[in-house]
Amino acid sequence: MATELMWWPSPAKLNLFLHITGRRQDGYHQLQSLFQMLDYGDSLNFDITADARIELITPIPGVANEDNLIVRAARLLQAYSGAHQGCRIRLHKRLPMGGGIGGGSSNAATTLVALNHLWQCGLNVQELAQLGLQLGADVPVFVHGDTAFASGVGETLTPAPQAQKYFLVANPGIEVSTAKIFNHPDLPRHTAPINWQDYRFETTVNDCEKLVCTMHPQVANLLHWLLEYAPSRMTGTGSSLFAICDDQNQAENLLSQLPKRCHGFVAKGCNQSPLQQMLDRVRNANQTI
């Protein structure tokens, strides 16, 4: 398939739980979480050019291209690998900004993975993940592409396959600043670590949830509504929440009943992200040519 016709998935994730177990001297928080990959997200198209220019054709309102993680990821890979090519990038945005479902981090990871292939840089997954960590703590999990248990600052990953579930992911239409939440004095920072094999939804929490609900009543109200219908929790630092559904029909029914000014989507959990699935298909197709 011609590269200008290819759209690379940039999937969402959920934090099925999020425990903050400490804070390092450099200010980064130590945490434990279970990153659940979803089959829904943004998508990116890369038109490879002979010159070294990096262009984002579809800018995000309010975000300067120079600050966009997509552009920063492309330039970081270019500088690290010595690639002489450039690209024109198009983004089809479906995930909300500041939603806690990894939109920006996933965009960066897709950029690294796709351009590593398209520019033929030859970097392995570990090298790409280390580059991604320079852009954000959540980028490595999207580079690896597995539903995984995370520790450290989010960069130490252990694949942790989960039984397939459907999720309603809902957002009250507001953005939550991750920096403000992690810098807030009332954020719990001393939750006892768990063994990842002992994970159960019922015995875990999101340590950011109470604080975000206090600061943003819209999140609290939506969570209260979801809990009437299914086990539910906030993901990341919000503002998105998720409900664990028995099947797709239950999730679709909840989506149709969302309160006013709220929006959302239905997604299926997957143990390998759509990005890695596509990379495997592209590689296999190239090998048969």
* Catalytic residue set: 13, 138
Nearest alpha-carbon partner for 265 in 247, 243, 246: 243
Beta bridge partners of 157: 150
Q: Is the distance from CB of 168 to CB of 251 less than 8 angstroms?
A: yes
User: Kind and range of the H or E element at 72?
Assistant: helix 69-81
Q: How far is CA 176 from CA 119, 157, 179, 218, in A?
A: 35, 25, 9, 11
**Structure letter (DSSP) for residue 195:** -
Q: Is the distance from CB of 96 to CB of 171 less than 8 angstroms?
A: yes
Helix (H, G, I), strand (E, B), or coil: what is residue 254?
A: helix
Nearest alpha-carbon partner for 150 in 277, 11, 20, 276: 20
Q: How far is CA 167 from CA 245, 248, 266, in A?
A: 6, 8, 6
Q: Is the distance from CB of 117 to CB of 279 less than 8 angstroms?
A: yes
Cα 66 versus chain centre, distance:
21
Q: Is the distance from CB of 241 to CB of 226 less than 8 angstroms?
A: yes
